[in-house]
Amino acid sequence: MRFRILGCSGGIGGRHLRTTSFLVDHDILIDAGSGVGDLPLAELTQIDHIFVTHSHLDHVTSIPFLVDTVGGMRTRPLTVYATAATIEILKNHLFNWAIWPDFTEIPTAEAPFMRYQEVELGRSVTLGGRTITPLPAVHTVPAVGYHLDSGAGSLVFSGDTGPNDELWSIVNRIGNLKILIVETAFSNKERQLAEVSKHLCPSMLADELAKLDLDPEVWITHLKPGEIELTMQEIEEGARRHRPRMLQNGQLFEF
């Protein structure tokens, strides 16, 4: 599997800062933040599947534009995979005709540009030999992370989450885990904000990584602009054993 970083920032502020979105091979998105908009039209038309971690705008903002742009160029609906709770939020608050048209009814309900597919924690979806499994996340809205398994290796993306014991008990059983992408949104001085918003700060990340028994590559995502250097310094000081590194746009992983 090829896993390309389209966006991994907790905000905007220049071409290098795009919100969360990852392209798997040529046809799968994990989240659809602002980074999707940097893809050329030819690549956009090849995307068939979008796996959504949760409904917050920085993770779904490109779905409406993507469907609107390529819907008429495709021969089948683009499938949005999410939990039942997240699908309900998207229906009620995004694709509701007031904010954006409901593309599950356009051009017709029988042949729409977009469809939803419900996913459940622990229940895998297999697409062309690639297995994607929702993982538990602890956030302010219903949320999941994802485990991607090519057969030869695995990648885990935590999604947006606060402290999450259940996640680590599952991750520690992934024998072929090669890459762990985990969020850390705030610096230590904003720990209270991290706790309220159910994100991590470096001291909380260190506590979480202490629960990790394996030794994959650890990459940090969702850093807030303006505090990137400070937060990464605090991460490096607090979680030395796992040698976390900062995820960046354009990186490509193969596993």
Q: How far apart are CA 136 and CA 122, in angstroms?
A: 8
pLDDT at 147: 99
The mean pLDDT value for 84-102 works out to: 98
Angle (CA) 103 109 110, round 5°:
130
Determine the structural domain holding residue 236 and report its residue range. 2-254
194, 188 in Cβ contact below 8 A? no
Helix (H, G, I), strand (E, B) or coil at 29: strand
Does the structure show a pLDDT above 90 at 52? Answer: yes
pLDDT at 245: 97
Q: How far apart are CA 68 and CA 155, in angstroms?
A: 30
Amino acid identity at 196: V
At 43, which CATH number?
3.60.15.10
**Neighbouring residues of 114: CB distance < 8 A, sequence distance ≥ 6:** 67, 71, 77, 78, 79, 80, 95, 103, 104
Beta strand pairing status for 21-24 and 2-7?
Answer: antiparallel
Residues 225-235 pLDDT 10s: 999 999 999 99
217, 114 in Cβ contact below 8 A? no
Q: How far apart are CA 115 and CA 104, in angstroms?
A: 5
**Neighbouring residues of 210: CB distance < 8 A, sequence distance ≥ 6:** none
Q: How far apart are CA 51 and CA 11, in angstroms?
A: 20
The mean pLDDT value for 127-151 works out to: 98
With cut-offs at 50, 70 and 90, classify the pLDDT of residue 15: confident
The mean pLDDT value for 130-156 works out to: 98
Residue 35 is given by DSSP the state G
How many domains would you assign to the chain?
1
Q: How far apart are CA 245 and CA 78, in angstroms?
A: 33
Helix (H, G, I), strand (E, B) or coil at 231: helix
With cut-offs at 50, 70 and 90, classify the pLDDT of residue 1: very high
Can you give the length of the chain in residues? 255
Lowest mean pLDDT among 45-54, 76-85, 176-185, 239-248: 239-248
With cut-offs at 50, 70 and 90, classify the pLDDT of residue 239: confident
Residues 198-234 pLDDT 10s: 999 999 999 999 999 999 999 999 999 999 999 999 9
Q: How far apart are CA 204 and CA 221, in angstroms?
A: 14
The mean pLDDT value for 103-113 works out to: 97
